[in-house]
């Protein structure tokens, strides 16, 4: 049996008069006559992942009447056939081009979003729902309609299918990026309800002189003050280790003072790794949700890059360039 099948749910028609079609893995068939399949309930939010991985049906899944419209060896091939199925009664038949169909997972995702919205209606931390794909990607939808129209079916070529599969892959990658950005924005929204961290007494950032560093190092011997400074620096945040290191170190050290240091004290400079300030930065990275998995080597590497770049910041790189005659 092929890995994936495009099926029509024969008992389901939406208010617009569109029949439902979608992709199912071979594991979701019930029996051998190809007339029944299992479909997940609305509480399963990631249907696409379940289809790709062939998640076994659970007890709360729904048994549906259906008919197989076409088969595919890969998920990408099945996606192409799914779009074709929205405009034809059979993937091997081009005569019936007027029947309207709609991918069931689109309706399923809409119901899931409504369910999720109702569960979190009292929360002020949720982001607005992502606009539908047809609004986000007009060019992609235009290309989709061209490929899946009855006329285009008659002249479809392997190169068109390959291009369409690549486009679908890009859209999936963009969706994953949006999820990451959504998590970042939700974290920022949650911080709005917390009080602003106050700078502990005796601590002044950014440090401007070596005397400032020595004075702060003495204060950081107090663990409670050390914890307060770590929490304050961690609140600066960053999207990854390099970004967070850059933002935090800019807050801690002036660029002029950074010129006197490097990570391991080479070339006659002072060794930053021996300072309590190194532990402040490392612990702050560990407290940031987006860099919590950092290890000490990664933190050292990011700091080394930041110190190396100190000589180029503040317009110094331009001043080192030779003046044209």
pLDDT above 60: residue 175? yes
Bridge-based pairing of strands 19-25 and 270-271 is: unpaired
If you ran DSSP here, which 8-state letter would residue 132 be given?
P
∠ CA 220-222-223, rounded to 5°? 95
Domain boundaries, the chain: 4-191, 210-316
Bridge partners of 93? Answer: 90
Q: What end-to-end distance do the CA atoms of the chain give, in Å?
A: 75
At residue 125 the predicted structure's pLDDT band, cuts being 50, 70 and 90, is very low
Q: Tell me phi and psi for residue 121, to 5 degrees.
A: -65, -25
Contact at 8 Å (CB) between 108 and 42?
yes
Contact at 8 Å (CB) between 3 and 74?
yes
Q: Which residue from 187, 302, 157 is spatially nearest to 241, judged by alpha carbons? A: 302
- Give the separation between CA 237 and CA 284, rounded to whole angstroms: 8
Please give the pLDDT value at position 126.
43
Contact at 8 Å (CB) between 6 and 78?
yes
- Give the separation between CA 141 and CA 133, rounded to whole angstroms: 8
Mean pLDDT of 102-111: 55
pLDDT above 70: residue 97? no
Where b means 16+ CB within 10 Å and e means fewer, 82-97 reads: bbbbbbbbebeeeeee
| pLDDT tens track for 260-283 | 999 999 989 999 999 999 999 999
Please give the pLDDT value at position 127.
43
Please give the pLDDT value at position 133.
41
Please give the pLDDT value at position 141.
47
At residue 118 the predicted structure's pLDDT band, cuts being 50, 70 and 90, is very low
Length of the chain as a residue count: 325
Mean pLDDT of 153-177: 71
Mean pLDDT of 132-142: 43
Q: Which residue from 289, 193, 272 is spatially nearest to 237, judged by alpha carbons? A: 289
110-124, 161-175, 302-316: which has the minimum mean pLDDT?
A: 110-124
- Give the separation between CA 6 and CA 296, rounded to whole angstroms: 50
Task: Report the SS3 class of residue 198.
Answer: coil
Please give the pLDDT value at position 157.
58
At residue 187 the predicted structure's pLDDT band, cuts being 50, 70 and 90, is low
Q: Which residue from 52, 80, 70 is spatially nearest to 167, judged by alpha carbons? A: 80
- Give the separation between CA 185 and CA 189, rounded to whole angstroms: 6
Contact at 8 Å (CB) between 314 and 253?
no
Q: Residue 206, preceding bond cis, omega within 30 degrees?
A: yes
Mean pLDDT of the chain: 77
Bridge-based pairing of strands 36-39 and 261-262 is: unpaired
| CB atoms near residue 162 (< 10 Å) | 12
Close Cβ partners of 231 (under 8 Å, ≥ 6 residues apart): 197, 287
Please give the pLDDT value at position 163.
78
Please give the pLDDT value at position 203.
86
- Give the separation between CA 160 and CA 80, rounded to whole angstroms: 10
| pLDDT tens track for 289-300 | 889 999 999 999
Residue located via tokens 């950005």:
181
Mean pLDDT of 88-114: 52
93-102, 160-169, 268-277, 289-298: which has the minimum mean pLDDT?
A: 93-102
93-102, 132-141, 256-265: which has the minimum mean pLDDT?
A: 132-141
pLDDT above 50: residue 196? no
64-73, 159-168, 265-274: which has the minimum mean pLDDT?
A: 159-168
pLDDT above 60: residue 241? yes
């Amino acid at each position: 049996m092929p890995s994936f099948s495009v099926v029509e749910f024969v008992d389901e028609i939406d208010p617009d008069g569109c029949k439902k079609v979608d992709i199912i893995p071979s594991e979701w068939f019930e029996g051998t006559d190809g007339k029944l399949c299992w479909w997940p309930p609305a509480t399963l939010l990631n249907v696409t992942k379940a289809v790709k991985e062939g998640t076994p049906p659970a007890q709360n899944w729904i048994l549906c009447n259906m008919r197989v419209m076409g088969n595919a060896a890969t998920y990408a091939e099945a996606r192409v056939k799914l779009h074709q199925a929205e405009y034809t009664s059979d993937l091997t038949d081009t005569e019936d081009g007027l029947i309207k169909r709609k991918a069931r997972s689109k309706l399923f995702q809409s119901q899931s979003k409504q369910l999720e919205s109702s569960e979190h209606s009292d929360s002020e931390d949720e982001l607005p729902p992502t606009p539908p794909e047809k609004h986000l990607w007009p060019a992609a939808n235009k290309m989709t309609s061209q490929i899946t129209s009855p006329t285009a079916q008659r002249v479809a070529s392997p190169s068109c299918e390959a291009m369409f599969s690549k486009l679908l892959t890009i859209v999936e990658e963009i969706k994953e990026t949006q999820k990451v950005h959504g998590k970042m924005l939700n974290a920022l929204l949650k911080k709005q309800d917390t009080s602003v961290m106050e700078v502990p007494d005796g601590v002044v950032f950014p440090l401007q002189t070596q005397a400032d560093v020595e004075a702060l190092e003495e204060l950081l011997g107090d663990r409670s003050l050390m914890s307060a400074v770590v929490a304050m620096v961690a609140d600066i945040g960053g999207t990854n280790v390099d970004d967070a290191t850059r933002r935090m170190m800019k807050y801690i050290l002036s660029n002029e003072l950074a010129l006197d240091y490097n990570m391991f004290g080479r070339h006659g400079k002072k060794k930053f790794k021996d300072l309590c300030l190194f532990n402040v930065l490392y612990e702050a990275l560990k407290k940031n949700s987006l860099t919590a998995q950092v290890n000490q080597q990664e933190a050292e590497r990011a700091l080394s890059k930041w110190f190396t770049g100190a000589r180029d910041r503040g317009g110094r790189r331009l001043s080192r360039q030779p003046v044209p005659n």
